[in-house]
Amino acid sequence: MIDKKLRIVFMGTPEFAVPTLQTLHESEHEVAAVITSVDKLGGRGKKQLIQSAVKKFAEAHSIPVLQPKNLKSPKFQEKLKKIQADIQVVVAFRMLPVAVWDMPPLGTINIHGSLLPLYRGAAPIHWAVMNGDKVTGLTTFKLKHEIDTGDMIHQVKVKIDPDDTTGSVHDKLMLEGGPIIMKTLEDIAAGEVQYLQQDESLVSKAPKIFRETCEIDFNKTAQEIHNQVRGLNPFPGAFTRITEKIEMKILSSSIDEESKLERKMIETDNKTYLKIGTSEGALNCLSVQLSGKKRMEINDLLNGYKFENRTSVM
């Protein structure tokens, strides 16, 4: 039961943040303004101005939008102060300066895509899937200066199924944002919120994904590589080199546990399947993408590109 109607400033950018914003907009609370990223040039020739998913929702529902280039700008901070928000809610935005997150009387609440203190950092969903975790979730916490370290309020767990990808887990978590933020705000509005300090001994990191994270090491097991493929799907994609000039992203896979194929060695009928040996079992490539080409199911690729058996990836 809401004891107080809260005046909220919402901060977020991607589609992941939209269901939470929608829930707040449809609630008894007031979303007084939205802060999101500046419009960027994209599309063919990078000539089209691309608005964030959060901005599109806000404008469609007549919510005022601010798009500061610099969050430390005194001009922006003065505009933010004039909104007189009770609280700020952050979902998939960027790091905030102290003057911004400490501005409202009830502070700033962040929704993070992991069960903190696990997977602090920029890519918590990717790393949970890549590490073969069976469960992840969302955490609401009160922001403080060190990233993802604030005192926790609520958590919700979400199952990671064996064939889930980062994309499918993202979509599961996205739908949990609304319920968990409403539960959090209900406690805050009623003056019944309980904050739980994070256990530093349980901390794990989820750093930004770089190119080296995406290259497949076939000295690992088929299960480990399959998890890497799932964790980097749909973006940026796990890859290997089949020649010096040609890379192949492996976008979906399965495991042949019984295979005795040597590491890096290719086995294929050049019609329906392509397997690559690992340190334990083989990786069965189901959908792939060659450099400069579109995504293909493996049988479509093998219609036009032939591999020699018992050759190796690089």
Please check whether residues 80 and 124 belong to one and the same domain: yes
Name every residue whose Cβ is closer than 8 Å to that of residue 32 and which is 6 or more positions away in sequence: 7, 8, 9, 64, 83, 84, 85
- What's the predicted TM-score (pTM) here? 0.95
Mean pLDDT of all residues in 257-269: 96
Please check whether residues 151 and 195 belong to one and the same domain: yes
Q: Examine residue 171 and state whether it is found in any structural domain, yes or no.
A: yes
Please check whether residues 229 and 183 belong to one and the same domain: no
Please check whether residues 193 and 119 belong to one and the same domain: yes
Choose the weakest-confidence range: 100-104, 194-198, 305-309.
305-309
Structure confidence at residue 161 as a pLDDT band (50, 70, 90): very high
Please check whether residues 75 and 221 belong to one and the same domain: no
Question: What pLDDT, on a 0 to 100 scale, did the predictor assign at position 231?
Answer: 98
| Domain stops at, among 175, 202, 229 | 202
Mean pLDDT of all residues in 71-84: 98
Q: Examine residue 238 and state whether it is found in any structural domain, yes or no.
A: yes
Mean pLDDT of all residues in 36-55: 89
Q: Examine residue 189 and state whether it is found in any structural domain, yes or no.
A: yes
| Domain stops at, among 134, 169, 202 | 202
Mean pLDDT of all residues in 74-83: 98
Please check whether residues 242 and 186 belong to one and the same domain: no
Q: Could you tell me the CATH number of the domain that includes residue 132?
A: 3.40.50.170
Mean pLDDT of all residues in 229-255: 96
Question: What pLDDT, on a 0 to 100 scale, did the predictor assign at position 1?
Answer: 43
Q: Could you tell me the CATH number of the domain that includes residue 229?
A: 3.10.25.10
Question: What pLDDT, on a 0 to 100 scale, did the predictor assign at position 107?
Answer: 97
Mean pLDDT of all residues in 194-210: 98
Q: Report the DSSP beta bridge partners of residue 256.
A: 282
Question: What pLDDT, on a 0 to 100 scale, did the predictor assign at position 3?
Answer: 62
Question: What pLDDT, on a 0 to 100 scale, did the predictor assign at position 314?
Answer: 85
With a pLDDT cut of 70, the percent of the chain lying above it is 99
Q: What is the mean pLDDT of the chain?
A: 96
Q: Examine residue 45 and state whether it is found in any structural domain, yes or no.
A: yes
Q: Could you list the residue range(s) of the whole structural domain that residue 261 is in?
A: 211-304
**How many independent structural domains does the chain possess?**
2
| Domain stops at, among 155, 181, 202 | 202
Name every residue whose Cβ is closer than 8 Å to that of residue 116 and which is 6 or more positions away in sequence: 139, 141, 148, 152, 155, 198
Q: Examine residue 314 and state whether it is found in any structural domain, yes or no.
A: no
Please check whether residues 169 and 282 belong to one and the same domain: no
Q: Examine residue 116 and state whether it is found in any structural domain, yes or no.
A: yes
Please check whether residues 138 and 235 belong to one and the same domain: no
Please check whether residues 187 and 222 belong to one and the same domain: no
Mean pLDDT of all residues in 42-65: 91
Please check whether residues 193 and 230 belong to one and the same domain: no
Question: What pLDDT, on a 0 to 100 scale, did the predictor assign at position 235?
Answer: 95
Please check whether residues 75 and 196 belong to one and the same domain: yes
Q: Examine residue 163 and state whether it is found in any structural domain, yes or no.
A: yes
Please check whether residues 243 and 148 belong to one and the same domain: no
Q: Examine residue 309 and state whether it is found in any structural domain, yes or no.
A: no
Question: What pLDDT, on a 0 to 100 scale, did the predictor assign at position 163?
Answer: 94
Does residue 12 have a pLDDT over 90? yes
With a pLDDT cut of 90, the percent of the chain lying above it is 93
